[in-house]
Chain A
Amino acid sequence: MIAHLPGLQVHLPVLQVIVPLMAAPICLFLKRAHLVWLFALITSGLTFVISVLLLQQVLTSGVISYELGGWQAPWGIEYRIDKLNAFVLLIITSISTVVLFAAQTSIEKEIPKSKHTFFYILYLLSLTGMLGIVATGDAFNVFVFLEISSLSAYALIAMGKDRRALWAAYQYLIMGTIGATFILIGIGLMYQMTGTLNMADLSKRLPEVAQTRTVFTAFAFVIVGVCLKLALFPLHLWLPNAYAYAPSIVTTFFAATATKVAIYLLIRFTFTIFGLSFSFTTIPLQTLFMALGLAGIFIASTSAIYQNNIKLLFAYSSIAQIGYMIVGFSISSVTGLTATLLHMFNHALMKSAIFLALGAVMYRLGNVQLSSFHGLGRQMPLTMAAIVIGGLSLIGVPLTVGFVSKWYLLLALLEQGWWPVAVLILLGSVLAVIYVWRLVEVAYFKEPLSDQVPVKEAPMFFIIPIWTLIIANIYFGIDTRLSVEVAQAAAMSLFGVTP
């Protein structure tokens, strides 16, 4: 549709953000929950179409620069779409759309009816925020959108029916605000030194003043702030509770996208703005991130093994998976970054499938305690099969997406000759086997508890999106052309290597 309107074609970068932003207040007028849901779904679908078109455009004709309101950069705000953020935009919008499909069914049981409209408004705002962070080429704009997405996220998490959701949201609020403030301080310091907020402009001007203490400080603030947002160990403490007690749809959406956006920011700040040589020489970022990434993998995976709340279990697993992405990042080679980008894509697929399936369990049983899973393999075969396949993908079994990213990560480590790290990465997968199989054994080998009411398979509104994601898990594990090529091209352009 949009492709045939040449006038709109040029405005795609801003439409990507504006469409959900405008749609959010419109929801207020639609009153009826089902209508709002449909509207939100269509909006999200539209953003997906836009992101596909953007990616196509970037792949064929290179970087798109869009000047907001016609004001020239670096004075005006620039939206700048290259392969990296086109890829991330695609991840966010696709997952958001698939997840929204199940939203109405899921929130009926988890959120009071009076709040349904607000839920969708917040959801769309959160989506807007994330898309904005990724699409913009302006450092201050990043902060603005970061706040939009975070504030709506706090509210969304607080909607969880468990009262602990309030405490979790509050924790997240405090940590998130510290993170955002740090980023703001960093951006402010950079502005002080260079007088510009445009990313491309910053990357040109920063090297001149690179050896000043102010720039070091700015860098440190930005990195710590971003790492808080992406829940890098040991700054992850807000994440498990936030994921565990938020409404299922919110958990699914955030687990698949929010941390990816933060990792995008990390890459953007280190590679594009500060530049590779600055980022990896001023502070021992490589050693630091490698160590923290590995520690995250092992400590979070081990914690996951001991969780009895399954949402909490997979929340810890998410922290571990972030560890993998950070390890890939810390290698600072094209292959390493490719592995990170691939894992962003792949992890979004597996975690959204798993959390959505958990949402289905929540829908039927009202909780996701391990004990509730007794005998669920027979009662909800499709849902449980989805969790098993998602789990296998998490472990990294061949023919699933998890294997593809693991392969690249291993290859990147071997390129550097870091054998011990490669072994540790593989040992991390074994931990994943343990925490996934704990669930499998309960679901398939235990008889249902006597006081448990027999349940039926989840409704179609769950099964369809869950299995769409599962099939994507397998499809992109076999046909790796799209994900690998885009990730590789993005990584290469970040390193300034021409393919």
Chain B
Amino acid sequence: MNLSLELMLQLAIVVPLLAVVAILVTGHNSNLREGMTITACLILIFLVVNLYQGLTSGETISVLWWELLPGLTISFNIEPLGMLFALIASFLWLVTTCYAIGYMRSHQEKNQTRFYLCFALAISAVMAIAFSANLFTLFIFYEVLTLSTYPLVTHAGTEKAKQGGRVYLGILLSTSIVFFLLAIVSTWFVAGTLDFKLGGIFSADVDKTLAGILLVLFVFGIGKAAIMPFHRWLPAAMVAPTPVSALLHAVAVVKAGVFTILKVCVFIFGLDLLAVLPTTQFLLYVAAASVLLASLVAMRQDNLKARLAYSTVSQLGYITLGALLATPSGVIGSSMHIATHAFGKITLFFCAGAILVSLHKSKISEMRGIGRQMPLTMLAFFIASLSIIGVPPAGGTWSKWFLLMGTIETEQWLLIMTLMLSSLLNIAYLLPISFHAFFPNFMPSFMPDKKMPTKGSVKTAKLPNKQPAIEIKEAPLPSLIAIIITTLGCLTLFVYPQPLFELATAVLTNRE
């Protein structure tokens, strides 16, 4: 096909929107509706891959849609970081849709049309965020993303869902209105532009204190990055159906947050300015505290999805930390971590959903011995855990490697210790889950959760193993396929990280 790259860029945003219409029209027929979603996914991947090739062949692709206010435009362009984000989001949209078909049907969820519809809308916003050419455009779609995911979070329509939605919207909207918008208007006022430019848009003689305050506003204002103390929305969002938690709250929404932080650090402030701002060190410690505290909280969660949510908060802290280090290694590590964490965490969520659908279990304390019933799922869980922890043979190894390099280069000894400690904590709260699933009788006291293992309950937990035959009850086939794909993704990122690494490196060298 001879579509120009500019057209493809716009189509990447428009196609999910067209999918919204198609889903609405075909809503009465579930097969047709989901066929539409899958078609849109495939077209989107085709477009994004073509754009990727365009980018690697060195073409500049930019589009101006509309000048909203004088000097403030809605415009898009392509640079490696956004490309990376778009690739992950579009690919995982396909996988998640596949997963969702199995999950939503066997879970007999209501309002599935609304679900697929809002999902497509959210993906459109994600594409627009990934390709934003300026902070203004990014902000607009950042808000669109918040609003379009609200119906997904509150999908169940229960009192709990309403409460979760309230926290979700409350924190995301307030931080973005009070801090983020203020930071954007101030940046516009000080710098006179909001275009993303490598090396930053502030002039060299900008007031350092002012810029420092702006940085603080940005880091806390981008609530989607879930830096403590504005992280509460993420656990609250876990009331959503699992596919939503998987794609949006492990990949799209939270990554939109850290992506924005990376964009701001690299393209609004520029690494040189970032390194000398008075508040950078403070924010680094905030991010490190977020990493550590969230890991500690994660250990105490018995609900699997809640534990994964806090783990996400912690891992997002890594990315913010890497961006704030203001060194090439930090930025590369952060960019790569966007990808590796995405694959790892989405697998974990998929597994959590699979366990819920097949065995109706959501508490970790109930999951002893389930490895016999769901061997593939729990194996996937194990590999994905390794990726999150950052050990071979999973992709997370590389990103954590670069992040560590970054801290060593800048001689941030305290941060190095934090990262090491946090990795240990990751092991402590993730590995026991799959371990106990396969070896329910081994070292019951190793389970870090102190509330649960009274002797009696451990004994009852052993019981299933003594029963002679346990039938294998894996997740529905589409869901299982999705789990396998993302797990393979985790492994591939370890074996063949070259394209990812090149893309991450190009972030700082691209002339755009």
- Binary contact readout A411-424 vs B (1 if CB under 8 angstroms, 0 otherwise): 10011000000110
Q: Does B143 lie at the interface of the complex (its beta carbon under 8 Å from any beta carbon of A)?
A: yes
Knowing A397-B147, A404-B69, A430-B178 touch, does A414 contact B154 (C-beta < 8 A)?
no
Interface centre among B69, B165, B170, B186 (most CB of A within 10 A): B69
Knowing A399-B140, A484-B69 touch, does A410 contact B177 (C-beta < 8 A)?
no
B154 touches A445 (CB 8 A): yes
Taking a contact as CB atoms closer than 8 A, the residue among B68, B166, B178, B181 that contacts A480 in the complex is B68
Knowing A441-B162, A441-B166, A445-B154 touch, does A411 contact B174 (C-beta < 8 A)?
no
- Binary contact readout A391-412 vs B (1 if CB under 8 angstroms, 0 otherwise): 0100111110000101100110
Knowing A398-B139, A430-B177 touch, does A407 contact B166 (C-beta < 8 A)?
no
Q: Does A437 lie at the interface of the complex (its beta carbon under 8 Å from any beta carbon of B)?
A: yes
Q: List B contacts of A411 (CB < 8 A).
A: 185, 188-189
Q: List A contacts of B173 (CB < 8 A).
A: 395, 430, 433
Knowing A392-B147, A411-B185 touch, does A480 contact B154 (C-beta < 8 A)?
no
B182 touches A410 (CB 8 A): yes
Q: List B contacts of A480 (CB < 8 A).
A: 68-69
B182 touches A423 (CB 8 A): yes
Complex CA gap A49/B166 in Å reads: 45
Knowing A410-B182, A445-B154 touch, does A397 contact B143 (C-beta < 8 A)?
yes
A398 touches B185 (CB 8 A): no
Q: List B contacts of A406 (CB < 8 A).
A: 181
Q: List B contacts of A426 (CB < 8 A).
A: 177-178, 181-182
Q: Does A429 lie at the interface of the complex (its beta carbon under 8 Å from any beta carbon of B)?
A: yes
Q: List B contacts of A433 (CB < 8 A).
A: 169-170, 173-174, 177
Q: Does B442 lie at the interface of the complex (its beta carbon under 8 Å from any beta carbon of A)?
A: no
Can you report 22 residue pairs joining A to B where beta carbons are below 8 Å apart?
Answer: A395-B177, A397-B147, A399-B144, A404-B69, A407-B185, A410-B185, A411-B185, A415-B189, A422-B185, A423-B178, A423-B182, A426-B178, A433-B170, A433-B173, A433-B177, A437-B166, A441-B162, A445-B154, A445-B161, A445-B162, A478-B66, A478-B68
Knowing A437-B166, A478-B68 touch, does A396 contact B177 (C-beta < 8 A)?
yes
Q: Does A22 lie at the interface of the complex (its beta carbon under 8 Å from any beta carbon of B)?
A: no
Q: Does A427 lie at the interface of the complex (its beta carbon under 8 Å from any beta carbon of B)?
A: yes
Given A426-B182, A437-B166, A480-B68, 14 more pairs with CB closer than 8 A: A395-B173, A395-B177, A398-B139, A410-B182, A423-B182, A429-B177, A429-B178, A433-B173, A433-B174, A437-B169, A441-B162, A441-B165, A441-B166, A445-B161
Q: List A contacts of B147 (CB < 8 A).
A: 392, 397
Complex CA gap A457/B68 in Å reads: 34
CB under 8 Å from chain B, chain A span 421-472? 422-423, 426-427, 429-430, 433, 437, 441, 445
Complex CA gap A302/B189 in Å reads: 30
Instruction: Tally chain A residues at the interface, Cβ within 8 Å.
Output: 27
Q: List A contacts of B68 (CB < 8 A).
A: 404, 478, 480
Q: List B contacts of A398 (CB < 8 A).
A: 139-140, 143-144
Complex CA gap A410/B185 in Å reads: 7
A202–chain B nearest beta-carbon distance, Å: 35
Q: CB-nearest residue of chain A relative to B162?
A: A445
B182 touches A422 (CB 8 A): yes
B158–chain A nearest beta-carbon distance, Å: 8
Complex CA gap A430/B161 in Å reads: 21
Q: CB-nearest residue of chain A relative to B158?
A: A445
Q: Is the interface of B mostly helix, strand, loop or mixed?
A: helix
Complex CA gap A429/B185 in Å reads: 15
Complex CA gap A272/B277 in Å reads: 47
Q: Does B157 lie at the interface of the complex (its beta carbon under 8 Å from any beta carbon of A)?
A: yes
Q: CB-nearest residue of chain A relative to B136?
A: A398
B257–chain A nearest beta-carbon distance, Å: 17
Q: List A contacts of B70 (CB < 8 A).
A: 484
Complex CA gap A478/B136 in Å reads: 13
B140–chain A nearest beta-carbon distance, Å: 4
B242–chain A nearest beta-carbon distance, Å: 21
Q: List B contacts of A479 (CB < 8 A).
A: 66
Which are the 5 A-B pairs with shortest beta-carbon distances? A398-B140, A410-B185, A426-B178, A414-B189, A430-B174
Interface centre among B143, B144, B157 (most CB of A within 10 A): B143
B183–chain A nearest beta-carbon distance, Å: 11
Taking a contact as CB atoms closer than 8 A, the residue among A392, A414, A427, A437 that contacts B178 in the complex is A427
B157 touches A445 (CB 8 A): yes
- Binary contact readout B130-161 vs A (1 if CB under 8 angstroms, 0 otherwise): 00000000011001100100000010010101
**A interface list, Cβ under 8 A from B:** 392, 395-399, 404, 406-407, 410-411, 414-415, 422-423, 426-427, 429-430, 433, 437, 441, 445, 478-480, 484
A476–chain B nearest beta-carbon distance, Å: 11
B164–chain A nearest beta-carbon distance, Å: 11
Q: CB-nearest residue of chain B relative to A414?
A: B189
Complex CA gap A433/B146 in Å reads: 13
B143 touches A414 (CB 8 A): no
Knowing A398-B139, A407-B69, A445-B162 touch, does A414 contact B186 (C-beta < 8 A)?
yes
Q: CB-nearest residue of chain B relative to A446?
A: B162
B293–chain A nearest beta-carbon distance, Å: 25
A95–chain B nearest beta-carbon distance, Å: 23
Complex CA gap A426/B91 in Å reads: 37
Q: List B contacts of A392 (CB < 8 A).
A: 147
B492–chain A nearest beta-carbon distance, Å: 38
Complex CA gap A480/B71 in Å reads: 12
Q: List B contacts of A415 (CB < 8 A).
A: 189
Complex CA gap A218/B453 in Å reads: 81
Interface centre among A406, A414, A426 (most CB of B within 10 A): A426
Complex CA gap A437/B147 in Å reads: 12
Q: List B contacts of A404 (CB < 8 A).
A: 68-69
Complex CA gap A46/B68 in Å reads: 31
Complex CA gap A406/B176 in Å reads: 14
Q: List B contacts of A414 (CB < 8 A).
A: 185-186, 189
Q: CB-nearest residue of chain B relative to A392?
A: B147
Interface centre among A398, A411, A415, A445 (most CB of B within 10 A): A398
Q: CB-nearest residue of chain A relative to B213?
A: A419
Q: CB-nearest residue of chain B relative to A441?
A: B162
A319–chain B nearest beta-carbon distance, Å: 20
Q: CB-nearest residue of chain B relative to A422?
A: B182
Q: List A contacts of B154 (CB < 8 A).
A: 445
Q: CB-nearest residue of chain A relative to B181?
A: A426
Complex CA gap A175/B433 in Å reads: 70
Complex CA gap A157/B170 in Å reads: 37
Complex CA gap A398/B176 in Å reads: 11
Complex CA gap A215/B162 in Å reads: 58
A333–chain B nearest beta-carbon distance, Å: 13
Complex CA gap A410/B178 in Å reads: 11
Complex CA gap A414/B68 in Å reads: 20
Complex CA gap A321/B166 in Å reads: 24
Complex CA gap A288/B505 in Å reads: 55
Complex CA gap A392/B148 in Å reads: 13
A301–chain B nearest beta-carbon distance, Å: 13
Q: List A contacts of B178 (CB < 8 A).
A: 423, 426-427, 429-430
B105–chain A nearest beta-carbon distance, Å: 23
Complex CA gap A292/B139 in Å reads: 31
Complex CA gap A430/B176 in Å reads: 10
B260–chain A nearest beta-carbon distance, Å: 14
Q: CB-nearest residue of chain B relative to A432?
A: B177
Complex CA gap A445/B144 in Å reads: 21
Complex CA gap A429/B173 in Å reads: 10
Q: List A contacts of B189 (CB < 8 A).
A: 411, 414-415
A439–chain B nearest beta-carbon distance, Å: 13
Q: List B contacts of A430 (CB < 8 A).
A: 173-174, 177-178
B1–chain A nearest beta-carbon distance, Å: 31
B215–chain A nearest beta-carbon distance, Å: 15
A327–chain B nearest beta-carbon distance, Å: 15
A83–chain B nearest beta-carbon distance, Å: 18
Complex CA gap A415/B189 in Å reads: 8
B496–chain A nearest beta-carbon distance, Å: 40
Complex CA gap A404/B174 in Å reads: 18
